[in-house]
Chain A
């Protein structure tokens, strides 16, 4: 049976693959949305931190023999820690100023991180072995689905929904959301707002690092891996609504699927379809699909 000239089998295969891509978009845009929601800073360094996560996993494996499963835990913590340092030493100095300075700072940091790694490792990319337990795959009939890719979807969903739950449904999350709206008042209630902000930034960055570890076995671990990806993720966040957590998650997965479909029907446009959607969304709903006007 054919839909628009593509056999259903192939179509479902592409949808599934789109979902996998969407997992990365969702994880990354979640981190960005969390950071923007609380700090009002566009974290341009996000792409470099994603790359850092992959490299930390690579280094953990090659220098310390620490495998994938431990890296899933350690790499986000390490990368998140670098985020904490960045926030404490540099970002916090900029809160009193126009938010655009934060954008410029993180842009500069991204250049530094990417440049240093480019010098060390060149651009060719390092191989990272797929963990044993997840290699191989199963034949689903309409396509051969590698186990690792299935794992990516599941893990990403769990992390995204978990984060959403913490932010929207728990007390800690409510403090975070309150601090976004009125930091002085929340501080007056005795909550250490600056520390919360630092940890939030660290958490968002850690999410980027986690995405990096998960990407390492399937994409090349290369210094440039985050550079062009980050712009797409920005578009995802803008479409979803810049401060909306659920918006980032849904849009991430959704756009992954749309991009996957575009690759089937009109591959040359697969790079631009997300930006086109962004332009349309901005015309109709400037705050994004799920966002509220700030």
Chain B
């Protein structure tokens, strides 16, 4: 990733520009108003995946590490949340916290193994470790194997607000999504984020300046994993189901696709990418396996001709970061 080869798009981390503020308001406004016309469960799904993609993008766009196994964090958190809510009777906020924490711990373990390698090696390691997690989930009794954990109760938020209906669940998910999004934004635009950017642009120089590069990368990895876990835990409460799909490597591929389509290394790219891919899956669902083909074509087209992604192209055109 270092060196002269043109790398993946570099995010320019400066203060929040006016364009970014407007974009944020547009996005928040959309998600606040849309449930009136669009099926709320679909929107909640969209938000979970958007958060997942944003967490993934944190790693690739700002640290330059392509993780091909991010589904393991998403899925493990989903199982942890589902299990704690169903079997231990946790209230939803605790269940999600538990799920997020599990993903964080897993992120730490995986990060320790993987972070020393770069580029393709890193991607391969994350892929293989994700496969191990998948097979663990397949066999472990608590995950319910192929059945998954079903009939997960949404429970009462803080013991007071019943989340079973979409009208109460939706604001909760919206809050989590916007909160997670702003958190990622804050991370990127903090001194920590600046160091990450420095590492990405020229790792050896960062080392020579005295930064413990491995620690920074590990921390970024753990953060990315934790936020992916937040998305996964929330999703399993929305659908009241945690299943093997969430830890399968095709899920890892999908989140890469979402970020690619939206724009790697942009703040809003993953959200748009998630919207495009999830909507496409929904509408093409009747076409069965053609969805896979279309996704493959989108991948190929994006890589060959559309590397900046949707938001990336817009940002390039207006010459402002988005």
- Most chain A CB atoms below 10 A, which of B1, B120, B291: B120
Q: Which of A103-145 contact B (CB under 8 A)?
A: 103-105, 107-116, 118-119
Nearest Cβ distance between residue A124 and chain B, in whole angstroms? 13
Whether the Cβ atoms of B288 and A100 lie closer than 8 Å is no
B198: chain A residues within 8 A (beta carbon): none
Whether the Cβ atoms of A272 and B296 lie closer than 8 Å is no
- Most chain B CB atoms below 10 A, which of A104, A235, A283: A104
Q: A235 CA to B134 CA in the complex, in Å?
A: 15
Q: A278 CA to B135 CA in the complex, in Å?
A: 15
For B296, give its contact among A101, A108, A282, A286 (CB under 8 Å). Answer: A108
For B116, give its contact among A109, A113, A234, A286 (CB under 8 Å). Answer: A286
A113: chain B residues within 8 A (beta carbon): 296
Tell me, yes or no, whether B123 is within 8 Å of chain A by CB. yes
Digitize B138-166: 1 where CB-to-A-CB distance is under 8 Å, 0 elsewhere: 11000000000000000000000000000
Tell me, yes or no, whether B5 is within 8 Å of chain A by CB. yes
Q: A46 CA to B260 CA in the complex, in Å?
A: 22
Q: Which of B268-311 contact A (CB under 8 A)?
A: 288-300, 302-304, 307
Nearest Cβ distance between residue A189 and chain B, in whole angstroms? 23
Tell me, yes or no, whether A268 is within 8 Å of chain B by CB. yes
- Chain B: which residue is nearest A234 at the CB level? B124
For B303, give its contact among A108, A119, A238, A268 (CB under 8 Å). Answer: A108
Given A93-B304, A94-B303, A118-B289, check contact A111 B295 (CB 8 Å).
yes
A242: chain B residues within 8 A (beta carbon): 120-121
- Chain B: which residue is nearest A100 at the CB level? B66
Given A96-B5, A115-B289, A275-B132, check contact A105 B304 (CB 8 Å).
yes
A115: chain B residues within 8 A (beta carbon): 289-296
Tell me, yes or no, whether A159 is within 8 Å of chain B by CB. no
Whether the Cβ atoms of B300 and A238 lie closer than 8 Å is no
For B304, give its contact among A90, A99, A107 (CB under 8 Å). Answer: A90
- Most chain B CB atoms below 10 A, which of A93, A99, A110, A275: A275
Tell me, yes or no, whether B171 is within 8 Å of chain A by CB. no
Whether the Cβ atoms of A101 and B303 lie closer than 8 Å is yes
Q: Which of A79-97 contact B (CB under 8 A)?
A: 90, 93-94, 96-97
Nearest Cβ distance between residue B134 and chain A, in whole angstroms? 9
Q: A99 CA to B307 CA in the complex, in Å?
A: 13
Whether the Cβ atoms of B303 and A104 lie closer than 8 Å is yes
- Chain B: which residue is nearest A93 at the CB level? B304
Q: A278 CA to B136 CA in the complex, in Å?
A: 16
Whether the Cβ atoms of B136 and A272 lie closer than 8 Å is yes
Whether the Cβ atoms of A98 and B293 lie closer than 8 Å is no
Tell me, yes or no, whether A42 is within 8 Å of chain B by CB. yes
Whether the Cβ atoms of A238 and B289 lie closer than 8 Å is no
Tell me, yes or no, whether B223 is within 8 Å of chain A by CB. no
Chain A interface size range: 35 or more
B249: chain A residues within 8 A (beta carbon): 231
- Chain A: which residue is nearest B5 at the CB level? A98
Whether the Cβ atoms of A111 and B256 lie closer than 8 Å is no
Whether the Cβ atoms of B300 and A90 lie closer than 8 Å is yes
- Chain B: which residue is nearest A280 at the CB level? B113
Q: Which of B68-87 contact A (CB under 8 A)?
A: 68
Tell me, yes or no, whether A271 is within 8 Å of chain B by CB. yes
Tell me, yes or no, whether B6 is within 8 Å of chain A by CB. yes
Tell me, yes or no, whether B213 is within 8 Å of chain A by CB. no
Nearest Cβ distance between residue B129 and chain A, in whole angstroms? 7
Whether the Cβ atoms of B6 and A103 lie closer than 8 Å is no
Tell me, yes or no, whether B125 is within 8 Å of chain A by CB. yes
Q: A273 CA to B295 CA in the complex, in Å?
A: 31
Q: A114 CA to B117 CA in the complex, in Å?
A: 30
Digitize B6-39: 1 where CB-to-A-CB distance is under 8 Å, 0 elsewhere: 1110000000000000000000000000000000
Tell me, yes or no, whether A276 is within 8 Å of chain B by CB. yes
Whether the Cβ atoms of A104 and B289 lie closer than 8 Å is no
Given A100-B66, A108-B303, check contact A282 B125 (CB 8 Å).
yes
B68: chain A residues within 8 A (beta carbon): 103
Q: A46 CA to B104 CA in the complex, in Å?
A: 33
Whether the Cβ atoms of A96 and B6 lie closer than 8 Å is yes
- Chain A: which residue is nearest B297 at the CB level? A112
Tell me, yes or no, whether A279 is within 8 Å of chain B by CB. yes
Q: Which of B233-257 contact A (CB under 8 A)?
A: 249, 253, 256
- Most chain A CB atoms below 10 A, which of B113, B117, B253, B296: B296
Q: Which of A160-215 contact B (CB under 8 A)?
A: none
Q: A130 CA to B295 CA in the complex, in Å?
A: 36
Tell me, yes or no, whether B127 is within 8 Å of chain A by CB. yes
For B119, give its contact among A100, A105, A238, A286 (CB under 8 Å). Answer: A100
Whether the Cβ atoms of B119 and A99 lie closer than 8 Å is yes
Q: A235 CA to B129 CA in the complex, in Å?
A: 10
Nearest Cβ distance between residue B9 and chain A, in whole angstroms? 10
Closest 4 CB pairs of A and B: A108-B299, A111-B296, A115-B292, A112-B296
Q: Can you list 27 A-B pairs with a CB-CB distance of less than 8 A? A: A42-B120, A42-B124, A97-B6, A98-B5, A103-B66, A103-B120, A103-B123, A104-B260, A105-B300, A105-B304, A108-B298, A111-B253, A111-B293, A111-B295, A111-B296, A112-B296, A115-B290, A231-B131, A235-B128, A238-B128, A271-B138, A272-B131, A272-B132, A272-B135, A275-B128, A282-B125, A286-B116
Interface residues in chain B, defined as those with a beta carbon under 8 Å from any beta carbon in chain A: 1, 5-8, 66, 68, 113, 116-117, 119-121, 123-125, 127-129, 131-132, 135-136, 138-139, 249, 253, 256, 260, 288-300, 302-304, 307
Interface residues in chain A, defined as those with a beta carbon under 8 Å from any beta carbon in chain B: 40, 42, 90, 93-94, 96-101, 103-105, 107-116, 118-119, 231, 234-235, 238, 242, 268, 271-272, 275-276, 278-279, 282-283, 286
